[in-house]
Structure 1
């Protein structure tokens, strides 16, 4: 797991290729990141299923309820199957764009 902070955002990248271990580490260390917007970069993990992404839903809901962004980067996924309450994008650049838009929405009171 590689962690990189950029301003008000933390990018957490899965480096082991085991999403279950990645999920467990993020959940265990969540308090270290709860004040920042979170990007989970799983773009290097091939064959991620929707079920794997859904395992992050409780953490995503908790983080978004605290008025912070939670964006997952995953390739090779059918994005139309992802529930509306989750944000999953294909690239890191799009993840940053989503966070920027959500920050503006929060600043405007939406």
Structure 2
């Protein structure tokens, strides 16, 4: 798992060969990252099934509760299969926009 500290968020990209290996390592590392805005990039060759992406839902909820953003980048999922509050976008630019918008909402008290 590759962890890149950016100015306003942490970008996490898998280096593992399977989704299950990636989520396992992410589970172990998340405590160190839970108070930061996270963007998770799901590789195109991973099985981005509804079941696999749903494994991140608990983390997304945790980040919302602690005032940070959690965004998944994946082109191969139907966002309508997930709760509206679960941020899934197809590009890094859109993920950065989600974090910016959520920061503005938090600043305004929403």
Task: Give the alignment's Cα RMSD to 1 decimal.
Answer: 1.3
**Cα-to-partner distance string for 1:15-70 (whole Å, 9 max, x where unaligned):** 22411111111111112112210000014334411111111111111121111000
- Structure 1 stretch 27-36 or stretch 95-104: which is displaced more? 27-36
Q: TM-score, structure 2 length as denominator? A: 0.91
- Equivalent in the alignment of 1:13: 13
User: Structure 2: any 5+ residue segments left out of the alignment?
Assistant: none
Structure 1 residues 63 and 46: CA distance shift in structure 2, 3 A: same
Matched length: 110
Rounded to whole Å, the distance in 2 between the matches of 1:100 and 1:74 is 19
Structure 1 residues 21 and 9: CA distance shift in structure 2, 3 A: same
Q: TM-score, structure 1 length as denominator? A: 0.91
